[in-house]
């Protein structure tokens, strides 16, 4: 999966350069261990919200690369029929409640999903208890409750730039107050666009969450296994009803903030800094755990998958402009009278 995300992003960079992908993207290259480590700790009923730098989260959660690529290209076979694009890809069938172009905005959505899961479980338990009472089988109800006791978890990914957004603090508060099954994952890559976290974040990321009584962990975000182990610990607690968790994953993006950056000639980090983080690349680290033949086989199969994805996505149609308002409104809602698209 690490290799798939890296390869997908390299392919997407090429397609931005050639103009096939309209606009730009925020490449996830360098941060793969975070998405893969966290998503490997999740089960099928769990949910996540993603960010403007979200391709890695969507793929690690299991979205089909060919449909994700078609989405970036704005084609009808995209995950969201080409309407969401890079920053708003979603796949509800996989619990991906959406990437989000607004910094910090995924957190309250994940909190809402966790609250819904908690409420659904409470309603289910109440129903079981009532049924058991009617049948005078209290013991049976107890057993049932046990087997249904594990809550689905919602994960909110966000960057260090979200740490100063009020909505994140409100989300942490509510999640802690209501002991919601949420995992907050801060991907601290050291910068919000060009602003170093060191000059923007008073105190610390984990200090913010700890202030709400949320258990926190600082994790090496370049180490997939370390991220996975920390995520498993937090997910287990959340499932058991012990409330939210918070991981700060120290990571780095090797590319610019977005694909316009090179043209803009921004200077805010030194080549030496980038090189030092390249030495900690999560991919060779993970490949070293495999025997060389297995690693080469995986590389080959990823290359084949991505070649097929590119062929599929480029062959997919552009949406018909006449359907520009399709999928935008819930059933029954229409644009205001007199407003023409
Ligand atoms: C509420 C809001 N403010 C500002 C922006 C503009 N903006 C887009 S990305 C970004 C930086 C985000 O940094 P971080 O959260 O650290 O994520 P990273 O880009 O490092 O992955 C900013 C300020 C935005 N999209 N939303
Ligand atoms: Mg950042």
Quick one: pLDDT at residue 140? Answer: 55
| Residues whose CB falls within 8 Å of the CB of residue 238, separated by 6 or more in sequence, listed in order | 114, 151, 153, 180, 181, 182, 183, 244, 245
Taking the C-alpha atoms of residue 186 and residue 192, their distance in angstroms, rounded to an integer, is 12
The whole-angstrom separation of Cα 25 and Cα 257 is: 9
User: Is 3 within a domain?
Assistant: no
Beta bridge partners of 247: 185, 217
Closest residue by Cα to residue 223 from 9, 31, 26, 4: 31
Distance CA 244, CA 5 (A): 28
User: Is residue 100 within 8 Å of residue 51, measured between CB atoms?
Assistant: yes
For 232-251, the pLDDT digits (tens) are 999 999 999 999 999 999 99
What is the tally of structural domains in the chain? 1
pLDDT at 264: 81
Q: Is residue 245 a part of any domain in this protein?
A: yes
Summarised one tens digit per residue, pLDDT across range 37-74 is 999 999 999 999 999 999 999 999 999 999 999 999 99
Supply the pLDDT for residue 147.
42
CATH number reported for the structural domain that contains residue 271 in this entry: 3.40.50.970
Question: What pLDDT, on the 0 to 100 scale, is given for residue 267?
Answer: 87
Residue to mutate (ligand 1; options 57, 103, 252; most atoms within 8 A of CB) = 103
Lowest mean pLDDT, pick from 8-22, 35-49, 145-159, 187-201: 145-159
Residue 128 maps to a domain: no
CB neighbourhood size of 312 (10 A): 17
- Alpha-carbon distance of 69 to 18, in angstroms, equals 14
Give the per-residue pLDDT at 266.
83
Ligand 2 ion: nearby residues, β-carbon < 5 Å:
159-160, 189, 192
Ligand 1 atom nearest residue 104's Cα: 1
Q: Is there a domain that residue 226 lies in?
A: yes
Distance 274 CA to ligand 2 centre (A): 14
| Percentage of the chain lying above the pLDDT 70 cut | 92
How sure is the predictor about 339, in pLDDT bands with cuts at 50, 70 and 90?
Answer: low
Q: What percent of the chain has pLDDT over 90?
A: 84
Residue 97, sorted as left (phi over 0), alpha (psi -120 to 50) or beta, turns out to be alpha
Say which ligand is closest to the CA of 88: 1
Q: Is residue 173, in this structure, part of any structural domain at all?
A: yes
Predicted confidence at residue 144, as pLDDT, reads: 44
Mutate-to-test residue for ligand 1 from 32, 192, 201, highest number of ligand atoms within 8 A of CB: 192
Ligand 1 atom showing the smallest separation from residue 31 Cα = 21
Q: Which residue has the tokens 């997910």?
A: 235
What does the pLDDT read at residue 141? 54
CA distance 76 to 233: 40
Residue 134 lies in a domain: no
End-to-end CA separation in angstroms for the chain: 41
Spell out a b/e string for 85-98, using b for 16 or more CB atoms within 10 Å of the CB, else e.
bbbbbbbeebbbbb
- Kindly list the protein residues whose Cβ atom lies closer than 6 A to any atom of ligand 1: 26, 52-53, 101-103, 159-162, 189, 191-193, 257
How far is ligand 1, taken at its centre, from the CA of residue 178, in Å? 28
Structural domain including 49 reads 22-61+81-123+150-298
Q: What is the pLDDT of residues 89-133, one digit of tens each?
A: 999 999 999 999 999 999 999 999 999 999 999 998 899 988 888
> Taking a C-beta distance cutoff of 8 angstroms, is the pair 34, 221 a contact?
yes
Is residue 280 domain-resident? yes
* Tens digit of each residue's pLDDT (9 = 90 or more) over 255-273: 999 999 877 878 899 999 9
> Is 14 inside a domain boundary?
no
Confidence of residue 145 (pLDDT cuts 50, 70, 90): very low
Q: Per-residue pLDDT tens for 18-33?
A: 999 999 999 999 999 9
* Ligand 1 probe mutation, 23, 106, 161, most atoms within 8 A of CB: 161
Give residue 340's pLDDT. 58
């Amino acid at each position: 999966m690490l290799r798939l995300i890296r390869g997908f992003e390299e392919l997407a960079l090429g397609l931005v350069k050639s103009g096939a992908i309209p606009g730009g993207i925020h490449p996830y290259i360098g941060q793969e261990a975070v998405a893969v480590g966290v998503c490997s700790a999740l089960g099928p009923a769990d949910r996540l919200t993603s960010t403007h730098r979200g391709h890695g989260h969507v793929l690690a959660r299991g979205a089909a690369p060919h449909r994700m690529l078609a989405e970036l290209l704005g084609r009808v076979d995209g995950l969201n029929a080409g309407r969401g694009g890079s920053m708003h890809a979603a796949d509800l069938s996989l619990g991906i409640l959406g990437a989000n172009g607004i910094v910090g905005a995924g957190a309250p959505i994940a909190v809402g999903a966790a609250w819904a899961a908690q409420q659904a479980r409470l309603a289910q338990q109440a129903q079981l208890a009532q049924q058991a009472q009617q049948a005078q089988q209290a013991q049976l109800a107890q057993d049932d409750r046990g087997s249904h006791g594990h809550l689905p978890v919602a994960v909110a990914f966000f960057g260090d730039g979200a740490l100063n957004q009020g909505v994140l603090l409100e989300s942490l508060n509510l999640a802690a107050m209501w002991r919601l099954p949420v995992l907050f994952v801060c991907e601290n890559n050291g910068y919000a666009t060009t602003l170093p976290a060191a000059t923007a974040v008073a105190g610390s990321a984990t200090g913010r969450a700890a202030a709400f009584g949320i258990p926190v962990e600082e994790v090496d975000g370049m180490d997939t296994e370390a991220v996975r182990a920390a995520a498993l610990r937090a997910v287990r607690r959340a499932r058991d009803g012990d409330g939210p968790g918070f991981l700060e994953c120290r990571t780095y993006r090797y590319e610019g903030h977005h694909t316009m950056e090179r043209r803009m000639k921004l200077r805010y980090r030194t080549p030496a800094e980038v090189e030092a983080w390249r030495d900690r690349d999560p991919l060779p680290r993970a490949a070293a755990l495999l025997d060389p033949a297995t690693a080469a086989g995986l590389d080959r199969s990823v290359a084949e998958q991505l070649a097929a994805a590119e062929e599929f996505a480029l062959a997919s149609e552009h949406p018909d402009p006449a359907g520009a308002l399709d999928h935008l409104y819930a059933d029954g809602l229409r644009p205001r009278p007199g407003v023409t698209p």
